[in-house]
Chains A and B, each alone.
Chain A
């Protein structure tokens, strides 16, 4: 997928001016996914859910600490059960491995269940170019594939579209009378997808987790499409991040209790599917060939660093559902696969700090993400660390660096600072005029007065008034 993360600010501006998008983003309002999560946590009990978050974080930390041996164990167990385990160092390698599998088995049509890694690798474009037709079967992914767009949310990829926009897309794609009743629209999509499920020779799925003790992959879906993708076609490829390996099925169960509640407020998703090797001799269905592709794509660069906590992520989307910035500009503004707080950490980590300069700063550090993260990733701390890395590598604009230097130097010299504050209190008071508010600030302050007035100061500083009072 092409990277547009350097243009966050411009893309956010476009998003703010897009009335349709703004109306669609209302879905994140008081009845949205965040509210559903809150209800689920209430029902589970707050103290119990906190314990669950601790347990989830511990499982992920243990898995990451032991990643090398877990991967070896997963490979051994999966291979023993007839699957082929492949490793891709880069996103491009992952794409090439899938294309190689298509060539080897002469595959022509791929049905896909949701995989964000497939987005990272730009798999659909590569498959199409190689003469393999990719068909997204997750309803949201199907919608955005018809629209020729990228997902704007990791679990609700088409959340930026309205029902009416989807109705238009379906009318064109299905060549049937336009429908706006959601159950009818879903039925129509289901019918269209059925023909693809039975005619596809390749199924591509993601993997929410890989279980080392059994060599299985596991996915979570609400539409059952994952099950069709992983059982009907004669070849199944599961493509996922190398960090997704966990030790046991018991761990999987614990993480499941967290994942669905955090994502959609469901106690459990409609379907949880495990795939363990290809069809056995006595099995009635299942693929003839089963591949796991474990992709690094920048992940191991974080192992053992101060950014490792990010690899705990179980892709629930709670951070974006609670993010004031995400809810205001939507996912496409972030310019790559992963939006919201987790994306603002992952994107610079995977594609390079210098290719996503705005993202670590595109946050108020309100920590609404951190307190809902099911595996307790301290997202604001990680964003701050990325900001420090930008400074260390000289990636911030000189004006910002200069301004900060002056401020820090003055703040360390109280007499000079007091003089500056004395002057600023009077100057800003003067700018505020009779209404005691400034409608146009100079320099960097312009960003503020673009959308807000700036209340004028009272005119004198606390320190001078306090000194006067003490003198009597």
Chain B
């Protein structure tokens, strides 16, 4: 909202500097954007919050200044002279769409002379960025910027028939507005119409066919109230926003409609001549009186933390235009002024007192009580996860949660349901809520390679959105960690195992081949921890590698962090260290190709039980010329230990024999001689 210093001075004495005024307004609710000096004319740009439509005018801002500086506000009292001819004899107004228009009034002026505005008027508008058109249009704009009530002047002679009707637009109806563009209307929109057609888009813009021109002699001056919702939707639907629509959207003063109408007519008679017909044409309901708000003085301290004296409270509220019947009572019964739609509750009154009294009066020395607040397990767990990732040389990235269709389709191991879509894309073409973090990370890896030939090893911790079964169900949001790196399958698996170990998970980690699209079917797996699916791991398939033109092998992993946390032991528990030495033995078993290490390991563990301190895989070796086709040798070491005594060589030998025996029985293994 631009306000000019000269214009404001018409309503009160501005003895302060404009810098001091701008600061004072900022600290009381009208945020100062900038001050322009237009050839000596000071113009201040103020930001008006959406609840303060009353400040979208010079009188509104002057009223705030009068309260802040305790100055007298002097407002015009327009009483234009009327002739004896009754307006009702000439025209009528009617509302057929009361949801969009609660009140419609009009005054008629005959025999005026349209010409240029005098300098004071043209300059007033120019200072706040409004171009001069002619004296009639300029007066309607001036009064709108003076009091905040939008007005419109029709050329009475160009209206078809004697009746103005506020109605719904007809489907397919078009209107050429005064910007000389044609607008296609729909039935939700509200128009002002004569007997033949729409002549204005209600509250948004007038029509070209009835606009005031140099030949205009007779006027119909409209002052009305259009509903905020209707004006907002129409303005948005037509992509046609005006100072008028802006003010109706933020609500006008219902008691100010007639004042604005009289003020405009008074100025027209003064500057354009003519005669004002008697009376006002009106339809709809007049402003209702407001019900009082109860303010308990004790509530001021309860909310603000400071006491404010009754005299100050009464002075502030009265200066703002409130009516307090009994200033000595407690609670106070307060009737808010008609232009303040935002004052309907006790809390609203307390805010008024606070902002005028000054927030600087509120002290900063009221500490809150001390309470214990523990860090969440989740935060401790994420620290550990990030520690493992950092140690592995992998860096954290953050990428947008909403992705393009093509990115979404690349990999979706967690669900087959289609991704949720936003109506408006987040970024160009990106309207899918991602179901996996992996496509985003692969994109980042590819971007790094393209931009700087750098191999990016990245991880991200973020939500994925797994759609529910129906359209009205919120998606299941799962916090995942996704990883992309240039390691091979076993490198990535080692990372996952290290992470699981470091989190103190004692549950068994196992893998099964996965057929999830995008993964290389021979070198990828889904991962189970305990009873739950932990995630996916493996190489991306050739088509994805080609699509992203990735330079070398690329491995990915994505894990559900809530599953990981479920099996974690965040506070490690001490286990006693055995004082007895362990015996280490190496084993080299020949097995069929189909036997997996997991099979041999579990048989080994089962054969010895708790005296098996550890079993460590060493390597796989193939010597078909010696061992026969489709065989391999599995080399591994076992550590044997008893917690209560030193094992003898004979006992160890017996355990090794048991391992071999079991592996032979269960898997046909043969000890390499």
Do A and B interact with each other, yes or no? no
Chain A positions within 8 Å of B, measured between CB atoms, are: none
